[in-house]
Amino acid sequence: MTKKIEVLIASPEVRPLAQTGGLADVAGSLPQALTRQGAGAAVILPAYQTILEHKSFKFTDMNTDFTVSQSGEDIPGSLLRGELAPGVPAYLIRCDRFFNRPGLYGYEGVEHPDNPERFSFFCKAVLEVLPFLDAYPDILVGNDWQTGLLMPLLKVEGLERPKGVFIIHNQGYLGLVPPELQGLLDLPPSYHNIDGVEYFGQSSLLKAGITYSQAMVTVSPSYAQEVQTPEGGHGLDGAMRHHASKLVGILNGVDYGIWNPATDKHIAANYTPEDLAGKAQCKAALMKELGLTGMENKPVVGMVGRLAGQKGFSLVVEAAEDLFRLGIGLVILGSGETFYEDMAKNMAAGFPGQCRIHIGYDDGLAHRIIAGSDFVLIPSMYEPCGLVQMYGLKYGTVPVVRAVGGLNDTIRDNSGQNPPGVWDTGFKFSQFQARAMMLAMKRAVDLYARPKDFQAMVQAGMNEDFSWDSSARKYINLFERILTRA
């Protein structure tokens, strides 16, 4: 029998320990899916205040204190160990100066100014503690800019193992480090050039991950193409084209243990594709909770996500008059940039009989909105994978999405021109324009008015399968290729 592959996933967020977006879902689910496929897997993340203070998370200090040298200072840290799931260790890098404070990357709409120091420290600490983990990793997986520095550091240290794999969940966050702080990265001068980590005079930690990883993954096949174009590359499209031979797109999966209307504990009633009665109860309960009346026979549209420019919320605001004229209800759950939060609040205030907004992060409400709405609207400017549309499918909540990235890869909209036995699962529009979004919304509302046809689409979506297992197998194949190549 061949030795099983040991994988360590370093991530700035891991559900349920710390989350701001879909990255946490992936970092929480992928290790468990890898374990089911026969690999060994563990996660490592910073010991944020919310984790340390959480009553039900149990972590023990491993008594392996270490120091990390950064900008001429020796900064002490320690390692804690707990479990993400049985057989899946979760490690925390503790350094109170950097992580024992409110907010993962910022607080009350303001970024932590020392993010480069914080995540540079985290990456260096991960390499320090490798010998103390239950299993020494063959593969070290980095996720997004916060862990990009791991990839060149592996090279600088000259370690034979682990091999570095870098997952890009969002190329829009570059992890920029101004020139005066470059020293804290501890990279040789030869790394600070256009073929290394340099990004228009600064350093990009995302680019560090791109340049120095053994393999790169984007979280959907379409996104792997889009990041190589000027429109989708955020200034790194040249680097992505240069490194395209080590790039693959692997679609994220959904953890149906958490997101399944047949078993979900957050929602008013459970339901299945065969028996949708519970879905109507979920809608009624959601309307009651949010104080929206008269929506029984009207389409309710849900939006759940980070309020950031990427998510295309500006299209909704621009189209608001026309949108509400369709007679829909709109419920929004989100948090993020103050600018978009205010924009959403102002819009909701203008349509009090049809719109509700909840600003904040609320996992239970996210489930209740996805179960209790008829549609989920995701008009993203770009969307590396997107999970909410896949949750929508499973919950019989028809996605209306812009045809980009993973949204394009997961939703079928062929205007009924499918081969026999294949049904459309949602509505897509191409141009990032309010008018294009409105045309898709109009088609959606028209279908809603034909209950039999609408139900066929609902059921088609619920029967789609985006579980992790096939994606986890693709990751393991990739890891095996890298290890045998080496």
Q: Residues in the site for ligand ADP, rule: CB under 6 A?
A: 21-23, 25, 304-306, 333-335, 361-363, 366, 385-388
Looking at the Cβ atoms of 143 and 354, the one nearer to ligand ADP is 143
Looking at the Cβ atoms of 176 and 254, the one nearer to ligand ADP is 254
* Cα gap 132→113, rounded to integer Å: 31
CB of 333 to ligand ADP, least distance (A): 5
* Cα gap 335→340, rounded to integer Å: 9
Residue found by looking up tokens 């028809």 in the block: 398
CB of 47 to ligand ADP, least distance (A): 22
CB of 398 to ligand ADP, least distance (A): 16
Order of strands across the sheet that contains 198-199: 176-177, 202-204, 198-199
Looking at the Cβ atoms of 43 and 385, the one nearer to ligand ADP is 385
Looking at the Cβ atoms of 259 and 479, the one nearer to ligand ADP is 259
CB of 378 to ligand ADP, least distance (A): 7
Q: How many helices (H) and strands (E) does the chain have?
A: 17, 21
* Nearest to 402, CA basis, from 382, 427, 428, 375: 428
Looking at the Cβ atoms of 143 and 203, the one nearer to ligand ADP is 143
Count the helix, strand and coil residues of the chain and give each as a percent rounded to the nearest 5: 40, 20, 40
CB of 387 to ligand ADP, least distance (A): 4
CB of 153 to ligand ADP, least distance (A): 26
* Cα gap 55→255, rounded to integer Å: 24
72 CB burial (10 A radius; 0-12, 13-18, 19+): exposed
340 CB burial (10 A radius; 0-12, 13-18, 19+): buried
CB of 335 to ligand ADP, least distance (A): 5
Strands 176-177 and 300-307: unpaired
Q: How far apart are the first and last CA of the chain?
A: 20
Looking at the Cβ atoms of 100 and 310, the one nearer to ligand ADP is 310
Looking at the Cβ atoms of 50 and 70, the one nearer to ligand ADP is 50
**Nearest residue to ligand ADP, by Cβ distance, number only:** 22
165 CB burial (10 A radius; 0-12, 13-18, 19+): buried
